[in-house]
Amino acid sequence: MSGENCYDVTQYPGGNAYEDIGAVINAIIADIKRRQSAVDSNGGGKPGAVIYIPPGDYHLVTQVVIDVSFLKIVGSGHGFTSSSIRFNTPADELANWHEVWPGGSRVIVDLPEGSAARGAEGAAFLIGRSGNPRISSVEFADFCIDGLHFVDDGRGDAENTYKNRKTGIHVASANDSFRITGMGLIYLEHGLVIHDADALALDNNFIAECGNCIELRGMGQASRIANNFVGAGYDGHSIYAENYGGILVSSNNVFPRGASSVYFSGVVRSSITGNRFHSFYPGMLVLADNCCENLVASNHFLRDREPWTPMQKYDNGLDDLHGLLRIEGSNNSLVANHISETIDSHYVNPPGAKPVIIHVVSGSGNYIANNHIVATTETAAEDDAPNSACFSTQVGALLSTSNLAELAVTTVLIRKEAVRNTVLDCGNDDQVVLDRKENAFRATPKFGE
């Protein structure tokens, strides 16, 4: 990589990128603005630049502030490895590990104590500007942003709180055509917080073990969240969006433990298709605050119980009557999804209740059809595996399909406030609860009838 608009943080004079990469990148941005000052010069003038971060560990003591378009910050590896497993493994076992920290091109968020207040102040990378046009075409690619540690919230279990008031990337102003690809974000209270996005692409990232992973706030349109590995903490959202239209959420693998896999608030005319969602709690998918005309199709949903001992004491505070999928809005289509719930009946909350799978709380014109709902119960085995065995414990639980018995559930519940909805082939007469005078219903046939 060479040329006057290509920078290497380790070669830039003035500052030490290993000690404070934030100060070095800010100095580079100042140089770009100094050299590219002409708004219109021979049909151009501000081509932007590329800032390269080679593999290595770089402490970020100074927040990076980006107020120029056409800037790409790129590394050579997202470097993700699980810090959650590492921090829940006894020290004597860690002595034999090959590595204990994330790697690749790794930016360690080391903002001074007290500066990491909630919101933009705690962000490693803060992007925004006022005036016209909107800031455009800022790209982040192929490096790691690591919050390093969580902090105690009074429960004496600091590394499992998902809280440290740190954010990876915070976009504070209206923006156009941003790209975030191939990134690894870990141990941040907020991974990505992006306001007022237009044509945003979040592709092929690994954003996990964060309090909240992806948050699209303010309002926006025509954005894509695709092919990501995502997993939030029990108090946060894996994918959250508010007041957006035209979002595509596709082909993501969303890990359990987030309070929700997808939470839409006031989102319209968007699609959630072809994803794999796994959750330990109810409220996996929430369409809240009058979400309308959204398509939820061909996804795989799995809800089971947390099998890993260190995290079994935590949950998102919702009971099984809340609904795995919850709809507050009108004219949404929920079709051709596979929904599995596998849980020992001992852990159903409230005790003795029938878990609700699809819960339509309000709205009209929702079309719920041809969803295959599989509800089973299995006695939870005693787990005597070491804390370091998170992978084998979770995979063992996933692959366990023997000795299953049917679990009595309400496959679809339509509240009285919701009318003129259609439910087709999503449960038999005993499994679907709705006012048949106010809604259209066709039961899934029972065997032998």
Average pLDDT in the 354-373 region? 98
- Tell me, what amino acid is at 172? A
What tokens does 441 get? Answer: 């219903």
Mean pLDDT of the chain: 93
Average pLDDT in the 411-419 region? 97
Asked if residues 224 and 181 have their Cβ atoms less than 8 Å apart, the reply is no
CA distances from 19 to 22, 27, 58, 292, 320 (A): 9, 14, 6, 49, 49
What SS3 class is residue 7?
Answer: strand
What tokens does 418 get? Answer: 């919701």
Confidence check: pLDDT of 119 > 80: no
Q: Which residues of 272-282 are buried (b: 16+ CB within 10 A; e: fewer)?
A: beebebbbbbb
Average pLDDT in the 140-157 region? 95
Average pLDDT in the 68-72 region? 98
Give per-residue pLDDT as tens, 36-47: 999 988 888 899
The whole-number pLDDT of residue 118 equals 57
Query: What φ, ψ does residue 52 adopt, rounded to 5°?
Result: -105, 135
Average pLDDT in the 63-81 region? 97
Confidence check: pLDDT of 114 > 70: no
The whole-number pLDDT of residue 314 equals 85
Alpha carbons 268 and 285: distance in angstroms, whole number: 15
Least confident of 159-163, 318-322, 335-339: 159-163
Query: pTM, whole model, 2 decimals?
Result: 0.94
89 or 389: which leads in pLDDT:
89
Least confident of 51-55, 113-117, 159-163, 361-365: 113-117
Alpha carbons 323 and 431: distance in angstroms, whole number: 14
The whole-number pLDDT of residue 268 equals 98
The whole-number pLDDT of residue 448 equals 74
Asked if residues 266 and 246 have their Cβ atoms less than 8 Å apart, the reply is no
Asked if residues 280 and 304 have their Cβ atoms less than 8 Å apart, the reply is yes
Confidence check: pLDDT of 388 > 60: no
The CB density around residue 41, as the number of other CB atoms within 10 Å, is 10
Taking Cα atoms as reference points, which of 111, 141, 128 lies closest to residue 201? 141
DSSP conformational letter for 24 = H
The whole-number pLDDT of residue 447 equals 83
Cα 75 from chain centroid (whole Å) = 22
- Tell me, what amino acid is at 150? F
Residues in Cβ contact with 393 at an 8 Å cutoff, skipping those fewer than 6 apart: 307, 308, 309, 383, 385
Helices H, strands E: what count in the chain?
4, 43
DSSP conformational letter for 381 = P
Alpha carbons 54 and 367: distance in angstroms, whole number: 50
Give per-residue pLDDT as tens, 250-274: 999 999 989 999 999 999 999 999 9
The whole-number pLDDT of residue 385 equals 55
What SS3 class is residue 23?
Answer: helix
% of the chain surpassing 70 pLDDT: 93
Where does the pLDDT of residue 393 fall: very low under 50, low under 70, confident under 90, or very high at 90 and above?
low
Where does the pLDDT of residue 194 fall: very low under 50, low under 70, confident under 90, or very high at 90 and above?
very high
Query: What φ, ψ does residue 204 adopt, rounded to 5°?
Result: 60, 40
